[in-house]
């Protein structure tokens, strides 16, 4: 079955899952040439097997709110592929969560994890429960109820979830406590854990830092770095916060960030003190980014994204499909030279085309944001050997992983005119490793 037939089959079998189709189409369109060099793949129906998740768990989660009402949400875990290691991928708690979004994320995760050089398969999960506006007691009761179902499907050598949108240190703690209670085991079953109970140094920072390490590698190919560059960041959660921190440290200036209600524009730049304010606002008080504009007297734009502002580098760090074709054209018109994705699939296919036609540096999330899962992998290793590495050790390993992902992208993505197509590079490199492992393991 060729790539087009596989895609048509998926669309027929799984209608109403547009994000899943979008992610599959993007990968298939870039690996076809490589795939065609291997007739043995076709014989083993490898593409179709790689596109359809190994299994999908779907369950109802009941929990009690602070008023004593019983509330119901949906819970999911997609175990996509474990050819190269145990299933691994985050949990997302957000009202927009559905099967299509989680299937796209689990599919992407498989290639991303393959790129990290660590032995991890691909998975994703979550719920349409949103922690926003809920008390900590409500969040805890929800996490406990969610884990009451999930625990039987996961395990340190089977499937190791982590955080994602709406699932940070607080949620991981509640989920971990429940798993421990149910199994009577203290094991490395989740990553992103607190340092006191098996977490890794640098895990909270890893996705944002890793994105900037990747960006620095890209900039190096153009003989430049971050000094004096103006950056547009979206989001103000975990990934955005540590992206901003690393940009400041390396001499760049971040003038925007956002949440789902709107964005702020601070022409003086977000400095260390302002970033501390954002961290406290978002992680402690769980407030809105509008309050930053009130605090520092800068512009706040309700219901919009920051891509119309002027900058040298765009670092989308909020959610999928947050840069459309018009945004991409605006960014190019404003002179953007690089886009490096902290979020998963933040650019639509049309936007990616605009970036690539303009021949700017463009790194897809599965390469640029792989630092998060990489340090999750390092957390698993530390749990297995029952040791904790220092901050410097983990940071050094993260840097070296991001460098090797960049090298793989250049190796597989350099085109005849010298332009590096990072999308092709990441997809082909990620695909080949998983494909070879699947072939070696037979047609199961």
Q: Which residues bind ligand NDP (CB under 6 A)?
A: 94, 96, 132, 163-166, 168, 207, 235-240, 259-261, 317-319, 342-344, 369, 372
- As a residue count, the chain comes to 444
- The whole-angstrom separation of Cα 236 and Cα 292 is 11
> Residue 208 is encoded by which pair of tokens?
């944002």
Q: What does residue 342 show for φ and ψ, rounded to 5 degrees?
A: -80, -35
Q: How far is the CB of 376 from ligand NDP (least distance, A)?
A: 8
Q: Which of 295, 296, 348, 341 is nearest to 321 (CA)?
A: 348
- The whole-angstrom separation of Cα 50 and Cα 121 is 12
Q: How far is the CB of 155 from ligand NDP (least distance, A)?
A: 21
β-strand partners of 162:
90
3-state SS, one letter per residue, for 39-51: HHHHHCCHHHHHH
- The whole-angstrom separation of Cα 71 and Cα 93 is 15
Map tokens 């018009």 to a residue: 326
Q: Return the number of the residue (285 or 417) whose C-beta is nearest ligand NDP.
A: 285
Q: How far is the CB of 116 from ligand NDP (least distance, A)?
A: 11
Q: Return the number of the residue (35 or 341) whose C-beta is nearest ligand NDP.
A: 341
Do β-strands 122-127 and 262-265 pair in parallel, antiparallel, or remain unpaired? unpaired
Q: Return the number of the residue (230 or 317) whose C-beta is nearest ligand NDP.
A: 317
Q: Which of 6, 361, 402, 410 is nearest to 352 (CA)?
A: 361
- The whole-angstrom separation of Cα 163 and Cα 385 is 22
- The whole-angstrom separation of Cα 318 and Cα 242 is 13
Q: Return the number of the residue (230 or 376) whose C-beta is nearest ligand NDP.
A: 376
Helix (H, G, I), strand (E, B) or coil at 266: coil
β-strand partners of 119:
none
Q: How far is the CB of 346 from ligand NDP (least distance, A)?
A: 7
Query: Among all residues, whose Cβ is closest to ligand NDP?
Result: 237
Q: How far is the CB of 8 from ligand NDP (least distance, A)?
A: 28
Asked about 227 being catalytic, the answer comes back as: no
Q: How far is the CB of 236 from ligand NDP (least distance, A)?
A: 4
Long-range CB contact pairs, 44-48, < 8 A, 24+: 44/438, 44/439, 44/443, 45/1, 45/443, 46/435, 46/438, 46/439, 47/1, 47/3, 47/6, 48/1, 48/6, 48/9
CA terminus-to-terminus distance, the chain:
18
Q: Return the number of the residue (324 or 414) whose C-beta is nearest ligand NDP.
A: 324
Q: How far is the CB of 279 from ligand NDP (least distance, A)?
A: 11
Q: How far is the CB of 260 from ligand NDP (least distance, A)?
A: 3
Q: Return the number of the residue (7 or 90) whose C-beta is nearest ligand NDP.
A: 90
Catalytic, out of 124, 253, 274, 366: 124
β-strand partners of 161:
89
Q: Return the number of the residue (3 or 281) whose C-beta is nearest ligand NDP.
A: 281
Enzyme catalytic residues: 124
């Amino acid at each position: 079955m060729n790539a087009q037939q596989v895609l048509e089959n998926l669309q027929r079998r799984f209608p109403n899952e547009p994000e899943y189709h979008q992610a599959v189409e993007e990968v298939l369109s870039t690996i076809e040439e490589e795939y065609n060099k291997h007739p043995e793949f076709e014989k083993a129906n490898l593409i179709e097997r790689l596109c359809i998740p190994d299994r999908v768990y779907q369950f109802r989660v009941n929990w009690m709110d602070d008023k004593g009402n019983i509330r119901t949400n949906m819970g999911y875990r997609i175990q996509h592929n474990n050819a190269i290691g145990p299933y691994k991928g985050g949990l997302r708690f957000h009202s927009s969560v559905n099967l299509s979004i989680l299937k796209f994320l689990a599919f992407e995760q498989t290639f991303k994890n393959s790129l990290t050089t660590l032995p991890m398969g691909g998975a994703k999960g979550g719920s349409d429960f949103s922690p926003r506006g809920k008390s900590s007691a409500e969040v805890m009761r929800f996490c406990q109820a969610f884990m009451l179902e999930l625990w039987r499907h996961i395990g340190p050598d089977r499937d190791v979830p982590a955080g994602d949108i709406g699932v940070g240190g607080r949620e991981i703690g509640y989920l971990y406590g429940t798993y421990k209670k149910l199994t009577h085991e203290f094991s490395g079953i989740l990553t992103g854990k607190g340092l006191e109970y098996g977490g890794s140094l640098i895990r909270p920072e890893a996705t944002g830092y890793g994105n900037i390490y990747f960006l620095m590698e890209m900039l190096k190919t153009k003989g430049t770095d971050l000094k004096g560059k103006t950056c547009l960041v979206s989001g103000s959660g975990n990934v955005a916060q540590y992206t901003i921190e690393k940009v400041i440290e390396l001499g760049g200036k971040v003038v925007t960030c956002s949440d789902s209600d709107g964005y702020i524009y601070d022409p003086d730049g977000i400095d260390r003190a302002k970033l501390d304010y954002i961290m406290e606002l978002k992680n402690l008080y769980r407030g809105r980014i509008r309050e930053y504009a009130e605090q520092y007297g800068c512009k706040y734009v309700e219901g919009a994204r920051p891509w119309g502002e002027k900058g040298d580098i765009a670092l989308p760090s909020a959610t999928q499909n947050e840069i459309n074709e018009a945004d991409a054209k605006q960014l190019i018109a404003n002179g953007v030279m690089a886009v490096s994705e902290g979020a998963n699939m933040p650019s639509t296919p049309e936007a990616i085309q605009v970036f690539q036609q303009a021949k700017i540096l463009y790194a897809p999330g599965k390469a640029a944001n792989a630092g998060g899962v990489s340090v999750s992998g390092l957390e698993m290793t530390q749990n297995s050997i029952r040791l904790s590495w220092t901050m410097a050790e983990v940071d050094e390993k993260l840097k070296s992983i991001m460098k090797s992902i960049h090298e793989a992208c250049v190796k597989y993505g350099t085109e005849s005119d010298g332009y590096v197509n990072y999308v092709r590079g990441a997809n082909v490199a990620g695909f080949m490793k998983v494909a070879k492992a699947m072939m070696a393991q037979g047609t199961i």
